[in-house]
Chain A
């Protein structure tokens, strides 16, 4: 059993890492095509990618959209979760359902719906439009994480703060948010990665200024190239660094 288990684990790792390893290895390919045989190591493709103004602009756009839309989603989700956890409101089950609903809807449908409305209102595709869409997809996540984290312990501390004279904004800022620091940070970073990686909404709702996934998509159209490998490897490096930092500083402490 033990041997079987570890064999399975090893095979799973091979499957999971195979494309990533191929991606990274051939980003150093000293040749025009990122496929075997491997012809030697060069950093030319990285130099080319880092010198590509369009790509760097797209990267900055993505970062901006991701951070701003995640912040908005986090604030909206946290406040809504706080309200539903604290006050008995009529129709609270329905409201919870409405706030969670976008989670169960394909991004393509959300994108097409927004495109329909923006078209008929004469709003042009832009990074703002994309950001609005990204708040829609991340709001359920931020709401659900915040809501699930609000236990009795939390409610008792909030009640004590109110009893000691705190106004509602003070309760939120001095007690609720700090007590939920770890889950809120997790919700924020998850939102950032989802927004950062999101393609279809950004593809349909941007035109001239685009986000990174859309820019990569247009690189793919010109066929296989080690340059695409280099971009992919860089994105992987950044994401993995972020995940590891998150693991060390947020989830470790949360336990």
Chain B
């Protein structure tokens, strides 16, 4: 056997375990779920078949369309706010904070990232609840007369999400900013660009792939999350993941849950193609 053939055989041997794992526990389950989404329910029994009824129901039932719409709105709002808050934070840490304090400043800015995800949402409940810290403080200061209704609203969900994703995005954007040679900015200013022009014409385009990659991850994680809206948003309005979990729990309607998941997946795929020009998923 030739050397190249031996090398290839070795290569296949090394990559096979990872590929088989991904095929067996990711691709196959996904296909099984797609197949199941075309099944129907007879009482509590799943009847296999090819019936697009679940999809028809999703796109005609106002509750389901509403959940899809809620998820999209919340996700887009969260992604935009998070990027807008995280970029200046990352930039201040990268360019304003003296070099020897940067690692510490960054570490501090993202420390709560490492708390339990479930507990973090719960903590916001303590902060934003009717008898929570914010209301007690504002009442005590006399700013408001009646406690604000923040918990169990969309605002609470958005705040909880933004808190998490600002930290995630600060990390990824900082990593991008710090890689830029300071000579880019020097060259631009040397050639007569103002600070603002330097930012819009040089720094921003150079960091765009990193920002888009972070924003895409934010989108994916946010639209698929069950915990934050469940804990902070209450049950006044549903998001897609909450609806999926309801189908699984209450009625055991796996086919409908699968169809809803396929729709969720389709939304994420659309987001992927919308941003794929700038995406660098293999360099997160």
Contact = CB atoms under 8 A, between A and B. Distances in A.
A64 interface: no
B18 A80 contact: yes
* Interface size class, chain B: 35 or more
Interface string B200-228: 00000000000000001100110111110
A36 B131 contact: yes
B85 interface: yes
Nearest to B117: A197
Contact of A106 (B23, B32, B105, B264): B264
A132 B117 contact: no
A93 B245 CA distance: 35
B118 A216 contact: yes
A239 B115 contact: yes
B11 to A, nearest CB: 3
Given A95-B19, A232-B115, A147 B282 contact: yes
A210 B231 CA distance: 20
Interface in A199-249: 199-200, 204, 212-213, 216-217, 220, 224, 228-229, 231-232, 235-236, 239-240, 242-244, 247
Interface string A184-201: 000000000100010110
A33 B130 CA distance: 13
Which of the listed residues A2, A114, A116, A120 has the most CB atoms from chain B within 10 Å of its own CB? A116
Contacts, number: 260
Nearest to A84: B15
Contacts of A83: 10-15
Contact of A109 (B21, B36, B137, B261): B261
Nearest to B105: A9
Contacts of B129: 35, 224
Interface residues of A, number: 89
A2 B216 CA distance: 31
A13 B108 contact: yes
B258 interface: yes
B261 A108 contact: yes
B112 A117 contact: no
Nearest to A148: B283
B280 to A, nearest CB: 10
Nearest to B88: A8
Most chain B CB within 10 A, of A87, A243, A244, is at A87
Contacts of A193: 114
B223 A106 contact: yes
A224 B124 CA distance: 12
Interface in A1-57: 2, 5-6, 8-9, 12-13, 15-20, 22-23, 26, 33-37
Contact of B18 (A6, A99, A243, A247): A99
A212 B117 CA distance: 11
A225 to B, nearest CB: 10
B180 interface: no
Interface string A71-95: 0000111011011101111000001
A68 interface: no
A216 B116 contact: yes
A247 B107 contact: yes
A98 interface: yes
A199 B23 CA distance: 23
Contacts of B19: 80, 95, 98-99
25 contacts: A8-B88, A9-B89, A16-B112, A19-B127, A20-B120, A22-B127, A22-B133, A35-B133, A83-B13, A88-B8, A100-B282, A101-B22, A104-B216, A104-B281, A108-B224, A108-B226, A113-B26, A116-B36, A139-B21, A139-B22, A199-B227, A200-B226, A213-B116, A213-B117, A232-B115
Interface of B: 7-8, 10-15, 17-19, 21-23, 25-30, 32-33, 36, 85, 88-89, 92-93, 96-97, 103, 105, 107-112, 114-120, 122-127, 129, 131-133, 136-137, 163, 166-167, 216-217, 220-221, 223-227, 231, 241, 244-245, 248, 254, 257-258, 261, 264-265, 268, 272, 281-284
Given A2-B96, A114-B29, 19 more contacts: A8-B92, A16-B112, A22-B127, A33-B131, A35-B126, A80-B17, A83-B12, A83-B15, A87-B8, A105-B26, A108-B244, A109-B265, A112-B261, A199-B117, A213-B117, A213-B118, A224-B126, A229-B126, A240-B114
Interface of A: 2, 5-6, 8-9, 12-13, 15-20, 22-23, 26, 33-37, 75-77, 79-80, 82-84, 86-89, 95-96, 98-110, 112-114, 116-117, 119-120, 132-133, 135-136, 139, 141, 143-144, 147-148, 168, 193, 197, 199-200, 204, 212-213, 216-217, 220, 224, 228-229, 231-232, 235-236, 239-240, 242-244, 247
